[in-house]
Amino acid sequence: MDIAIPLFDRITALDAIGPYEVLSRLPGARIRWVAVTPGPYRTDNRQLTLVAEEPLSAVPHPDIIMVPGGFGTRVLMTPNPLLDWLRAAHETSQWTTSVCTGSLLLGAAGILRGLEATTHWAAHEQLAELGAKPTLKRVVVQGKVVTAAGVSSGIDMALTLVARIAGDEFAQTVQLGIEYDPQPPFHAGSPQTAPPHIVSALRERTRARLESLKT
């Protein structure tokens, strides 16, 4: 089972590694780290290198497409080879999935038109502009298209997917294997639970960061 995870400059590492850690445990899983150009890619904070081992063209028909997000998605919203690949690969995929602002790329490829979908909480407006119906759920399943909310939600998304593919017992085995019994020290993981002044400050900082990347 080929699971293609495209990399690009300024990816958010946990968006990719959360689902990787879960999906790679599927029987017969083969993770394919792909990019327009194979090679090293730096994460959003420039503090980690992830390596794309193959060009997109080496994996035209993955069984699962898993698109991570990151600030780097924003320069990939206009026509480009990654969107072309997504559109073509989606035609034959069993599952087309995303984490965080990875869904903006699915949207830009035209894959989310008319579908309920989600993304990082700070990017819901952009998702709507791409023809999707943004929802506040953490994992949104629409036929074979599965989108997840911000960064860490990819773990929940991937466990949901593993249950669909290999059954509930297998998904529980994977959950136990990664000891996923989360106990966050605060209740601040969503705009609904975090203190409002923290939400507005982070929203403003995110906007400023995106602006600075444009220049």
List of residues contacting its own copies (CB under 8 A): 12-14, 17-18, 20-21, 24-25, 29-31, 33, 40, 45, 47-49, 51, 53, 100, 120-121, 138-139, 149-153, 155-156, 159-160, 163, 168-169, 171-173, 175-186, 188-191, 193-195, 198-199, 201-202
Q: Nearer to its own copies by C-beta: 18 or 134?
A: 18
Q: Nearer to its own copies by C-beta: 128 or 178?
A: 178
CB 107 within 8 A of CB 157: no
User: Would you call 100 a catalytic residue per the annotation?
Assistant: yes
Q: Nearer to its own copies by C-beta: 83 or 165?
A: 165
Q: Residue 145 phi/psi, 5° resolution?
A: -100, 120
Q: Which of 22, 29, 35, 100 is catalytic?
A: 100
**Token pair of 128, please?**
């709507």
- Strands 39-42, 2-6: pairing kind: unpaired
* Euclidean distance between CA atoms 181 and 41, whole angstroms: 31
CB 120 within 8 A of CB 149: yes
60 by DSSP, 3-state: which? coil
Q: C-beta of 128: minimal distance to its own copies in Å?
A: 18
Active site residues: 100
